[in-house]
Amino acid sequence: MAAIVCPLKCAKVPQGQARRLTNRRQGSKAGLGLAFVEQEGALLLACGYHELMLHEKPARRILPRVASLVEWQVSDGLVPYTDAVAFMEARAEAIAAGEAGELVWLLEHPPLYTAGTSAREVDLLEARFPVYKSGRGGQFTYHGPGQRIVYVMLDLNRRNPDLRAFICALEAWLIAALAVFNVKGERRGDRIGVWVARPDKPHGSGGEIAEDKIAAIGIRVRRWVSFHGIALNVAPALSHFAGIVPCGIAAAHFGVTSLHDLGVRASMGEADEALRTTFAPIFGKTKRL
């Protein structure tokens, strides 16, 4: 793999050398910054890329240059986290080697917390559930029943090897899926994930309108094949998020919500259909396994 250039053009990371490139936004209350890590051919995307992406406005469609169907798999039951990671690692390697096709895998996990590459121990408030160190970018997050996990294994070499454009496309996909249920999801320059304005909740100390996160993004890319992915809150137990500071964002007027919390009584199957319908215009058509 060739040297990786930080999108901020602040440094180059030679192949095989692990270095962390950061650019913390001055005065950011959330303390987020841009961070990429290159280690053994892998790129990890951490919290805080949004501000840069919003300024540059990359393309929101990441279609393959040669038309092909993306495999779409839905797993029933609760999939153990370590099993899912092992599968993704193997599948990403096979995709990079040209031995397997692209795959989008929808599932649910049993209750657990994952710590991304930027996680701080202080943000684990109470280890109510098992805690796993994750290779994805980001900080602490919760996974559990009622939350649709979507692991996205796409070959960006066949599409557009541009991380900013890819993450922007993932956000656009989530926002489009939420719109199916008349929920207005929005991105924020200094906060990771997809957010929903909550004017019905107490405002911030400076009069800011409250906002809740309804979807999270945490991606890893190796040899330009993505894995890990997104998490959409359909109907999880929101109280389970209280054991962590999600993505390190502790301000009182920023919280977590779900479709059910917003009054949308969508089933998991209906959420899956919305995700699949809105995936196609951005990433290409799928075939159900």
Going by C-alpha positions, the residue among 145, 258, 248 that lies closest to residue 196 is 258
Q: In one letter, which amino acid is 3?
A: A
Helix (H, G, I), strand (E, B) or coil at 62: coil
What is the DSSP pairing of strand 4-5 with strand 12-13? antiparallel
Alpha helices of the chain — where are they, by DSSP H? 50-56, 81-96, 163-179, 268-283
Q: Note the residue count of the chain.
A: 289
**6 has catalytic annotation:** no
**What single string gives the DSSP state of each residue in 222-264?**
ETTEEEEEEEEESS--GGGGGGB-GGG---TTEEE--TTTTT-
Going by C-alpha positions, the residue among 159, 149, 138, 276 that lies closest to residue 218 is 138
* Cβ count within 10 A of residue 120: 12
Q: Which two tokens stand for residue 120?
A: 């701080």
Catalytic residue among 6, 47, 168, 247: 247
For residues 164 and 4, give the distance between their C-alpha atoms in angstroms, rounded to a whole number.
13
Catalytically annotated residues? 247
